[in-house]
Chains A and B, each alone.
Chain A
Amino acid sequence: MNETLERILPKVQKPARYVGGEYNQTVKNKAQVDVRVAFCFPDTYEIGMSNLGMRILYAVMNRMEGVWCERVFTPWGDMEEELRKNHLPLYALESGDALSKFDMIAFSIGYEMSYTNVLNMLDLGGIPRRAADRKGLEHVVFVGGACAYNPEPLADFIDFFSLGEGEELTEEIVSLYRTAKHEGWSKEAFLLAVSKLEGIYVPSFYEHTYNADGTLQAITPLQGAPKRVTKRIMQNLDDALYPTDIIVPNTEIVHDRSNLEVMRGCIRGCRFCQAGFTYRPVRPRSPELLLRQAIELLENSGCHEITLSSLSTSDYKYLPELAQQMQDYCTPRKINLSLPSLRADNFSRELMLRLQQVRKSGLTFAPEAGTQRLRDAINKNVTEEEILETCSIAFEGGWNNVKLYFMLGLPTETDEDVLGIAELVYKILKTWREHASNKKRGVRIHVATAYFVPKPFTPFQWEKQITPEEYLRRQKLLKDNMPSKSIEYNWHASDLSRLEAVLARGDRRLCAVLEEAVNRGAKLDGWDEYFSYQTWLDSFAACGIDPDFYTTRGYGLDELLPWDVISDGVSTAFLKKERERAYRNETTPDCREQCSGCGANCLLKGGKCDA
């Protein structure tokens, strides 16, 4: 190990996350490698190592002969300080080599508030931030992940974006790069060639012009770049590589368990949920394959817990049989089976209680809105009856812990909806009084509210975000009307969600603000320890940009949107229709009940969804 690093490590928190060396990491012989990829995750090791996409693509790239993909995470503030003080560049965990030694720098970005980390990591690695300042073929920087759907706030820094699912596309990208490297292409020639791959967006090939009022006037493709770039998907999830020989971290991470991805996409279509649209259409894995993968994952990792994950696991078609088989395997081996994101319907309720997982964490519901009217408007298909019914069974069984998640500021929300949250909490309290098997232990009800952030690619992509003052008023209204002092009520701070709203729907002009914020020391914005709202406000002011333009202004239905150049397969016409239905408080049936013609079926070869 580098001696400077050896001397730094005793001074920083949790040094194990900076040394690699874990079981199952991929180490290759540099002499037999011709393309080296630094796979960067713009958040801490604990978060990044819990990310499924990163684990899949690490395997995809390392399965390629002659390609070595290594991991890089954002150092915590103490480590960053030591690296800078000791002039040690940011390095990859497997080889310990500096970022600048790599051919390609890939980022997986799933959260707007990690944008500053992207720039900061490039800085720390000694890589020029701006794409235009990286002239040669070395250090090509590309980005995938949920944030690639509105790439504009990062457009000046990133050479190209990879849209949608990366199992096939990433391999195509790296293969193309290898050809380019062997044949000595210029960076321009490579970008031109890569822009021809389906699902690639090269921001420098698009010119943005603005109207006098600041709205976008035109996005003009240059160099024969496609007018619209459509995301990639895997046609059949059973054919997608799902690595089961994955790295087992030496230190605790956020999701410290095996993770089985049962399907992609969601049949529900909650109107606020970006993932619910961008991951369409829904595609299940076959239960036989899943059971095999589960056993391999558990045997290879030694984990004593496994999660069946997806956007809505209760909707996995073959859940009853898979859950039964998994339980049969897990119980004698003392392995916990956990199912997050369960719905409150009958089957899930029964399963949830049977698995006893609620013992640990309590019951969790995300009704998102306090009244049925508003739940219909956002198409969140959970009823008060289901919640109370589940609670009463759980209370009878001795459970006494309930967590509820809501949003404030949803389109069409009124004070009545806000007060509806308090009312629902009151009914749960009443249910406990009537059904609790052991009242002496008391009941613990946690309520959390988030500040609604309108996201691109949802029916609410045009909506105004309510002002922070109005959010705080509604939050106080709710607090003052909580039925009992014993309710624990937490609410998100408004600052972060406002900023998230700006970046989520931001355009290219925000690149300057982002860079300014990084220059002023912004980093690790997703962490309370580091987030500084003032730094951002100062950066907006310095760049002459009004954050309200992206939040409370709202976007016109006919306005050209920064992300209109990208398609996730769902038609804008469908989003508009969904928006109208929301304003009429009308629900939309889920994909299994009835296809609503969102357009995502066109991504499938047969043109038909298997919901």
Chain B
Amino acid sequence: MRRMLFEKTGTAIWMSHLDTMRLMQRAFRRAGVVLHHSQGYTPHAYVSMLLPLSVGTESVCEIMEYELDAEIAITPEDMNAVLPQGVRVLRVYESDRKAKYLTELAVSLTMLYDHGVPDGAAGRISALLNSGGLYVEKRTKRGMEETDIRPMIHQTELSNEDDKIILTARISAQNPSLNPALLTAAIERYLPQDKPDFVRYRRLEVYDENGEVFR
């Protein structure tokens, strides 16, 4: 499978998943590459994102899959020359690892506190995320449901500064997927006094079930 590893930062993080797909389809054309198209009245170029990214989340580990009809050499530079600011291709490669093996995601949450981090907040948050039974409203196949997200949080690490806490976590990427915003939702629910004023989300890396970097 043909894949590209790319990052999405700055103004580009406000693009939706569909926007990003459209952007990439066009970027290929701008780079002079005609993708493989589906058959039918309205042929579609085949591009897919392994893990859809929420609006407002930064990422340095997005993986996109695409298909070509003919062998065309593409370099990250070719793509970067035709991409808008904030979207940058890091690697163009082929892989035989199926997307379903992408199971784990490393994320960071930069939690900002306008009036300083409450005393002991980092400790309380760390304890909370490691306790059993962490229920939040989560979208499931059956609609919104109270769900225990604790099993989807594999590892957490917190660092504390004056006005922010940085939480890095390894979380479940697929089946089930965990939106990192739900970590904030859990903090809000169980530790209302430690609720941050604003959170920046960032995807750091993707892994397989053995904890190896996934490509």
Tell yes or no: B143 within 8 A of A by CB: no
Q: What residues on A are CB-neighbors of B41 within 8 Å?
A: 356, 359-360
Q: Which residues 2-49 of B have a CB within 8 angstroms of A?
A: 10-12, 14-16, 18-19, 22-23, 25-30, 32, 34, 37, 41-43, 45
Whether the pair A19, B82 counts as a contact (CB closer than 8 A) is no
Q: Contacting chain B: which of A9-17, A217-225, A516-524, A530-538?
A: A9-17
Beyond A15-B56, A356-B41, whether A252 also contacts B19 by CB under 8 A is: yes
Q: Which of B18, B56, B84 lies in contact with A21, CB distance below 8 A?
A: B84
Q: What residues on B are CB-neighbors of A298 within 8 Å?
A: 29
Q: How large is the interface on B (under 10, 10 to 19, 20 to 34, 35 or more residues)?
A: 20 to 34
Q: Which residues 229-266 of A have a CB within 8 angstroms of B?
A: 248, 250-252
Q: Which of B45, B82, B86 has the most CB of A within 10 A?
A: B82
Whether the pair A302, B10 counts as a contact (CB closer than 8 A) is no
Q: Which of B11, B15, B25, B32 has the most CB of A within 10 A?
A: B11
Beyond A250-B84, A333-B34, whether A20 also contacts B28 by CB under 8 A is: no
Tell yes or no: B85 within 8 A of A by CB: yes
Q: What residues on A are CB-neighbors of B56 within 8 Å?
A: 9-10, 15
Q: Which residue of B lies closest to A9 (CB)?
A: B14
Q: What residues on B are CB-neighbors of A289 within 8 Å?
A: none
Whether the pair A250, B30 counts as a contact (CB closer than 8 A) is no
Whether the pair A16, B14 counts as a contact (CB closer than 8 A) is yes
Q: What residues on B are CB-neighbors of A304 within 8 Å?
A: 25-26, 29, 45
Expressed in whole angstroms, the minimum distance between the Cβ of A120 and any Cβ of chain B is 23
Whether the pair A302, B28 counts as a contact (CB closer than 8 A) is yes
Count contacts on A: residues with CB < 8 A to the other chain.
Answer: 31
Beyond A23-B84, A302-B27, A303-B26, whether A250 also contacts B15 by CB under 8 A is: yes
Whether the pair B14, A15 counts as a contact (CB closer than 8 A) is yes
Tell yes or no: B158 within 8 A of A by CB: no
Give a binary string over A298-338; 1 marks a CB under 8 Å from any B CB, 0 the rest: 11111110000000000000000000000000000110100
| A–B pairs, 23, beta carbons within 8 Å | A1-B10, A1-B11, A15-B14, A18-B14, A21-B11, A21-B12, A23-B82, A23-B83, A250-B15, A252-B22, A299-B30, A301-B30, A302-B25, A302-B26, A302-B28, A302-B29, A304-B25, A304-B29, A304-B45, A333-B34, A334-B34, A334-B37, A334-B43
B residues contacting A by CB (< 8 A) are 10-12, 14-16, 18-19, 22-23, 25-30, 32, 34, 37, 41-43, 45, 55-56, 82-86, 198
A residues contacting B by CB (< 8 A) are 1, 6-7, 9-10, 14-16, 18-23, 248, 250-252, 298-304, 333-334, 336, 356, 359-360
